[in-house]
Structure 1
Amino acid sequence: MTSPESRLAELGLTLPEAAAPVANYVPFVQSGNLVHVSGQVSKGRDGLIAGRVGTDLTLDEAKAAARVCALNLIAQLKAACGGDLSKVKRIVRLGGYVNADPAFTDIPQVINGASDLMVEVFGEAGRHARSAIGCAVLPLNAAVEVDAVVEVE
Protein backbone atom coordinates (compact mmCIF):
# COMPACT_ATOMS: atom_id res chain seq x y z
CA MET A 1 0.00 0.00 0.00
CA THR A 2 1.29 3.42 -0.90
CA SER A 3 1.38 6.08 1.79
CA PRO A 4 -1.79 8.06 2.52
CA GLU A 5 -0.02 11.23 1.35
CA SER A 6 0.87 9.53 -1.97
CA ARG A 7 -2.74 8.35 -2.36
CA LEU A 8 -4.00 11.90 -1.79
CA ALA A 9 -1.61 13.17 -4.47
CA GLU A 10 -2.67 10.41 -6.88
CA LEU A 11 -6.29 11.41 -6.30
CA GLY A 12 -5.39 15.05 -7.02
CA LEU A 13 -6.41 16.12 -3.52
CA THR A 14 -4.75 18.68 -1.28
CA LEU A 15 -5.54 18.73 2.42
CA PRO A 16 -6.86 21.97 3.86
CA GLU A 17 -5.39 23.48 6.99
CA ALA A 18 -6.79 21.75 10.07
CA ALA A 19 -9.70 23.95 11.15
CA ALA A 20 -9.67 25.63 14.54
CA PRO A 21 -12.68 24.92 16.79
CA VAL A 22 -15.58 27.37 16.66
CA ALA A 23 -16.83 26.69 20.21
CA ASN A 24 -15.63 25.24 23.53
CA TYR A 25 -14.00 22.00 22.34
CA VAL A 26 -10.74 20.77 20.85
CA PRO A 27 -10.38 19.41 17.29
CA PHE A 28 -9.18 16.01 18.50
CA VAL A 29 -8.30 14.10 21.65
CA GLN A 30 -5.91 11.19 21.84
CA SER A 31 -6.49 8.57 24.52
CA GLY A 32 -4.05 5.70 24.32
CA ASN A 33 -3.82 4.67 20.69
CA LEU A 34 -7.23 6.10 19.74
CA VAL A 35 -7.76 9.58 18.32
CA HIS A 36 -11.28 10.98 18.58
CA VAL A 37 -11.74 13.66 15.92
CA SER A 38 -14.46 16.25 16.54
CA GLY A 39 -17.15 16.72 13.92
CA GLN A 40 -15.93 18.34 10.74
CA VAL A 41 -18.50 20.23 8.68
CA SER A 42 -18.76 20.53 4.92
CA LYS A 43 -16.58 23.63 4.60
CA GLY A 44 -14.25 23.45 1.63
CA ARG A 45 -11.97 25.84 -0.21
CA ASP A 46 -14.99 27.53 -1.80
CA GLY A 47 -16.76 28.02 1.50
CA LEU A 48 -19.45 26.23 3.45
CA ILE A 49 -21.65 23.74 1.62
CA ALA A 50 -24.87 24.59 3.42
CA GLY A 51 -28.53 23.75 3.24
CA ARG A 52 -30.95 20.91 3.62
CA VAL A 53 -30.38 17.77 1.59
CA GLY A 54 -33.46 16.85 -0.42
CA THR A 55 -34.60 20.48 -0.51
CA ASP A 56 -31.58 22.70 -1.23
CA LEU A 57 -29.06 20.03 -2.26
CA THR A 58 -29.21 16.86 -4.32
CA LEU A 59 -27.88 13.48 -3.25
CA ASP A 60 -24.77 13.97 -5.40
CA GLU A 61 -24.11 17.44 -3.97
CA ALA A 62 -24.51 16.07 -0.44
CA LYS A 63 -22.20 13.14 -1.17
CA ALA A 64 -19.57 15.65 -2.37
CA ALA A 65 -20.13 17.63 0.86
CA ALA A 66 -19.46 14.46 2.89
CA ARG A 67 -16.21 14.00 0.94
CA VAL A 68 -15.22 17.55 1.97
CA CYS A 69 -15.90 16.58 5.60
CA ALA A 70 -13.62 13.56 5.16
CA LEU A 71 -10.81 15.74 3.78
CA ASN A 72 -11.20 17.98 6.83
CA LEU A 73 -11.05 14.89 9.08
CA ILE A 74 -7.86 13.72 7.39
CA ALA A 75 -6.35 17.19 7.94
CA GLN A 76 -7.14 16.90 11.66
CA LEU A 77 -5.65 13.39 11.70
CA LYS A 78 -2.48 14.69 10.12
CA ALA A 79 -2.23 17.31 12.88
CA ALA A 80 -2.91 14.65 15.53
CA CYS A 81 -0.16 12.44 14.06
CA GLY A 82 2.47 15.18 14.01
CA GLY A 83 2.20 15.56 10.24
CA ASP A 84 2.64 11.85 9.41
CA LEU A 85 -0.49 10.08 8.15
CA SER A 86 1.40 6.79 7.94
CA LYS A 87 0.85 6.59 11.73
CA VAL A 88 -2.84 5.87 11.05
CA LYS A 89 -3.38 2.15 11.65
CA ARG A 90 -7.15 1.99 11.21
CA ILE A 91 -10.17 4.19 10.72
CA VAL A 92 -12.28 2.57 13.45
CA ARG A 93 -15.56 4.47 13.19
CA LEU A 94 -17.20 7.37 11.38
CA GLY A 95 -20.29 9.18 12.57
CA GLY A 96 -22.13 10.95 9.77
CA TYR A 97 -24.83 13.57 10.22
CA VAL A 98 -26.91 14.95 7.35
CA ASN A 99 -29.01 18.13 7.44
CA ALA A 100 -31.92 16.36 5.76
CA ASP A 101 -35.44 17.12 4.66
CA PRO A 102 -37.76 14.77 6.61
CA ALA A 103 -38.69 13.00 3.35
CA PHE A 104 -35.04 12.40 2.38
CA THR A 105 -34.05 8.84 3.28
CA ASP A 106 -30.78 8.28 1.39
CA ILE A 107 -28.69 9.28 4.43
CA PRO A 108 -26.30 6.26 4.11
CA GLN A 109 -25.56 7.11 0.48
CA VAL A 110 -24.62 10.67 1.48
CA ILE A 111 -22.15 9.44 4.11
CA ASN A 112 -20.65 7.07 1.54
CA GLY A 113 -18.92 10.22 0.25
CA ALA A 114 -16.82 10.21 3.43
CA SER A 115 -16.53 6.44 3.76
CA ASP A 116 -15.37 6.01 0.16
CA LEU A 117 -12.60 8.60 0.61
CA MET A 118 -11.30 6.89 3.73
CA VAL A 119 -10.94 3.62 1.79
CA GLU A 120 -9.39 5.42 -1.20
CA VAL A 121 -6.76 7.06 1.02
CA PHE A 122 -6.10 4.37 3.66
CA GLY A 123 -6.97 1.17 1.75
CA GLU A 124 -8.26 -1.71 3.89
CA ALA A 125 -7.29 0.25 7.02
CA GLY A 126 -9.88 2.81 5.93
CA ARG A 127 -12.80 0.37 6.25
CA HIS A 128 -14.75 1.26 9.37
CA ALA A 129 -17.90 0.92 11.44
CA ARG A 130 -20.26 3.83 11.05
CA SER A 131 -23.49 5.61 11.88
CA ALA A 132 -25.43 7.71 9.36
CA ILE A 133 -28.04 9.99 10.90
CA GLY A 134 -30.46 12.54 9.45
CA CYS A 135 -30.78 15.77 11.45
CA ALA A 136 -33.18 18.70 11.44
CA VAL A 137 -30.26 21.15 11.34
CA LEU A 138 -26.47 21.20 11.75
CA PRO A 139 -24.12 23.94 13.02
CA LEU A 140 -23.85 26.88 10.61
CA ASN A 141 -26.58 25.18 8.50
CA ALA A 142 -23.87 22.85 7.15
CA ALA A 143 -25.17 20.14 4.84
CA VAL A 144 -23.05 17.39 6.43
CA GLU A 145 -20.88 16.80 9.50
CA VAL A 146 -18.62 13.79 10.10
CA ASP A 147 -16.63 12.74 13.18
CA ALA A 148 -14.24 9.81 13.65
CA VAL A 149 -12.44 7.44 15.96
CA VAL A 150 -9.05 6.39 14.58
CA GLU A 151 -6.37 3.98 15.79
CA VAL A 152 -2.82 5.34 15.50
CA GLU A 153 0.69 4.07 16.25
Structure 2
Amino acid sequence: MTTDTTPRTITTQRVHWDLDYDVHLGRTWGRFMQGLTDKQILANSCPECSRVFVPPQAYCESCFVATDQWQELPPEGEVEVFTVAWHGFRGGPKPPYAIAGIRLDGASTLLMHYVSGLDLSDPAAVAEQLPPGTRVRAVWAEERTGQILDIAHFEQI
Protein backbone atom coordinates (compact mmCIF):
# COMPACT_ATOMS: atom_id res chain seq x y z
CA MET A 1 0.00 0.00 0.00
CA THR A 2 1.31 3.42 -0.96
CA THR A 3 0.42 6.77 0.51
CA ASP A 4 -0.02 9.70 -1.84
CA THR A 5 1.98 12.62 -0.46
CA THR A 6 1.45 14.86 -3.49
CA PRO A 7 0.23 18.31 -2.44
CA ARG A 8 -3.44 18.86 -3.25
CA THR A 9 -4.29 21.49 -5.82
CA ILE A 10 -7.25 23.81 -5.82
CA THR A 11 -10.06 22.35 -7.96
CA THR A 12 -12.69 25.07 -7.65
CA GLN A 13 -12.60 28.80 -8.05
CA ARG A 14 -15.17 31.43 -7.17
CA VAL A 15 -16.38 33.29 -10.29
CA HIS A 16 -18.82 36.18 -10.51
CA TRP A 17 -20.72 36.97 -13.70
CA ASP A 18 -22.91 40.04 -13.89
CA LEU A 19 -24.90 39.43 -17.06
CA ASP A 20 -27.49 41.44 -18.91
CA TYR A 21 -29.29 39.52 -21.62
CA ASP A 22 -32.51 39.47 -23.61
CA VAL A 23 -34.79 36.46 -23.58
CA HIS A 24 -37.06 35.68 -26.53
CA LEU A 25 -40.43 34.99 -24.93
CA GLY A 26 -42.06 33.35 -27.92
CA ARG A 27 -45.71 33.60 -28.92
CA THR A 28 -47.22 32.01 -25.78
CA TRP A 29 -45.29 33.89 -23.10
CA GLY A 30 -45.35 37.07 -25.20
CA ARG A 31 -49.15 37.01 -25.20
CA PHE A 32 -49.22 36.35 -21.44
CA MET A 33 -46.86 39.26 -20.70
CA GLN A 34 -48.78 41.59 -23.03
CA GLY A 35 -51.93 40.74 -21.10
CA LEU A 36 -50.26 41.76 -17.85
CA THR A 37 -49.68 45.27 -19.23
CA ASP A 38 -53.48 45.50 -19.60
CA LYS A 39 -54.14 44.08 -16.11
CA GLN A 40 -55.24 40.76 -17.58
CA ILE A 41 -54.07 37.35 -16.41
CA LEU A 42 -54.28 35.20 -19.51
CA ALA A 43 -54.24 31.42 -19.40
CA ASN A 44 -54.50 28.77 -22.06
CA SER A 45 -56.05 25.34 -21.97
CA CYS A 46 -55.64 21.91 -23.45
CA PRO A 47 -58.31 20.94 -25.98
CA GLU A 48 -57.93 17.26 -24.95
CA CYS A 49 -57.93 17.25 -21.13
CA SER A 50 -59.23 20.81 -20.46
CA ARG A 51 -56.41 21.66 -18.02
CA VAL A 52 -55.97 25.43 -17.69
CA PHE A 53 -52.38 26.67 -17.57
CA VAL A 54 -51.17 29.86 -15.92
CA PRO A 55 -48.51 30.76 -16.69
CA PRO A 56 -49.47 29.48 -20.12
CA GLN A 57 -47.73 26.64 -21.90
CA ALA A 58 -47.39 26.11 -25.64
CA TYR A 59 -48.18 22.39 -25.29
CA CYS A 60 -50.02 20.28 -22.73
CA GLU A 61 -47.47 18.29 -20.76
CA SER A 62 -49.91 15.37 -20.43
CA CYS A 63 -51.56 15.20 -23.86
CA PHE A 64 -48.72 16.62 -25.99
CA VAL A 65 -51.08 18.83 -27.99
CA ALA A 66 -50.97 22.56 -28.68
CA THR A 67 -52.72 24.68 -26.07
CA ASP A 68 -54.10 27.45 -28.24
CA GLN A 69 -57.41 28.10 -26.45
CA TRP A 70 -57.05 31.32 -24.42
CA GLN A 71 -59.08 32.80 -21.59
CA GLU A 72 -58.75 35.52 -18.98
CA LEU A 73 -58.64 34.40 -15.36
CA PRO A 74 -59.76 36.49 -12.41
CA PRO A 75 -56.91 38.03 -10.39
CA GLU A 76 -57.92 36.02 -7.30
CA GLY A 77 -57.17 32.55 -6.05
CA GLU A 78 -56.01 30.40 -3.16
CA VAL A 79 -52.59 29.82 -1.68
CA GLU A 80 -51.67 26.15 -1.83
CA VAL A 81 -48.09 26.36 -0.60
CA PHE A 82 -45.60 29.05 0.37
CA THR A 83 -42.10 29.64 1.58
CA VAL A 84 -40.25 32.54 3.11
CA ALA A 85 -36.87 33.65 1.81
CA TRP A 86 -34.78 34.76 4.74
CA HIS A 87 -31.63 35.49 2.73
CA GLY A 88 -31.46 37.73 -0.30
CA PHE A 89 -29.59 37.62 -3.55
CA ARG A 90 -28.28 40.26 -5.90
CA GLY A 91 -31.11 41.85 -7.87
CA GLY A 92 -33.81 40.32 -5.69
CA PRO A 93 -36.11 41.87 -3.11
CA LYS A 94 -34.95 42.66 0.38
CA PRO A 95 -35.51 39.66 2.66
CA PRO A 96 -37.50 38.38 4.33
CA TYR A 97 -40.28 37.92 1.77
CA ALA A 98 -42.92 35.29 1.09
CA ILE A 99 -43.43 33.46 -2.19
CA ALA A 100 -46.58 31.39 -2.71
CA GLY A 101 -47.91 28.84 -5.15
CA ILE A 102 -51.29 30.36 -5.98
CA ARG A 103 -54.06 28.50 -7.79
CA LEU A 104 -55.98 31.28 -9.50
CA ASP A 105 -59.72 30.70 -9.80
CA GLY A 106 -60.26 28.51 -12.85
CA ALA A 107 -56.61 27.39 -13.16
CA SER A 108 -55.26 23.86 -13.02
CA THR A 109 -51.68 24.93 -12.28
CA LEU A 110 -49.98 27.18 -9.75
CA LEU A 111 -48.63 30.67 -10.32
CA MET A 112 -45.64 31.45 -8.12
CA HIS A 113 -45.55 35.02 -6.85
CA TYR A 114 -44.84 37.29 -3.89
CA VAL A 115 -47.38 37.67 -1.09
CA SER A 116 -47.27 40.86 0.96
CA GLY A 117 -48.91 42.02 4.16
CA LEU A 118 -47.50 39.28 6.39
CA ASP A 119 -45.66 39.76 9.67
CA LEU A 120 -42.41 37.95 8.96
CA SER A 121 -40.70 38.96 12.20
CA ASP A 122 -41.47 35.61 13.89
CA PRO A 123 -40.62 32.61 11.68
CA ALA A 124 -42.64 30.23 13.87
CA ALA A 125 -45.83 32.27 13.39
CA VAL A 126 -45.71 32.76 9.63
CA ALA A 127 -47.56 29.54 8.77
CA GLU A 128 -50.52 30.65 10.88
CA GLN A 129 -50.89 33.75 8.71
CA LEU A 130 -50.98 31.96 5.36
CA PRO A 131 -52.56 28.51 5.73
CA PRO A 132 -53.49 26.52 2.62
CA GLY A 133 -56.72 27.89 1.16
CA THR A 134 -56.01 31.51 2.06
CA ARG A 135 -57.70 33.74 -0.52
CA VAL A 136 -55.45 36.29 -2.23
CA ARG A 137 -55.75 38.82 -5.04
CA ALA A 138 -53.28 40.40 -7.42
CA VAL A 139 -52.07 43.93 -6.78
CA TRP A 140 -51.06 45.57 -10.04
CA ALA A 141 -47.94 47.69 -10.45
CA GLU A 142 -48.65 51.34 -11.29
CA GLU A 143 -46.43 51.13 -14.36
CA ARG A 144 -46.61 47.91 -16.33
CA THR A 145 -44.01 46.90 -18.91
CA GLY A 146 -44.89 43.34 -19.88
CA GLN A 147 -43.04 41.54 -17.07
CA ILE A 148 -44.22 39.20 -14.33
CA LEU A 149 -43.76 42.05 -11.83
CA ASP A 150 -46.60 43.91 -13.56
CA ILE A 151 -48.37 42.01 -10.80
CA ALA A 152 -46.51 43.74 -7.97
CA HIS A 153 -47.57 41.06 -5.47
CA PHE A 154 -50.62 39.29 -4.07
CA GLU A 155 -52.37 40.27 -0.86
CA GLN A 156 -54.84 38.49 1.36
CA ILE A 157 -58.50 39.22 0.65
Same fold (TM over 0.5): no
Q: In proportion to residue count, which structure has more helix? A: 1
TM-score of the aligned structures, taking structure 1 as reference length = 0.23
Q: Which has the larger radius of gyration?
A: 2
TM-score of the aligned structures, taking structure 2 as reference length = 0.23
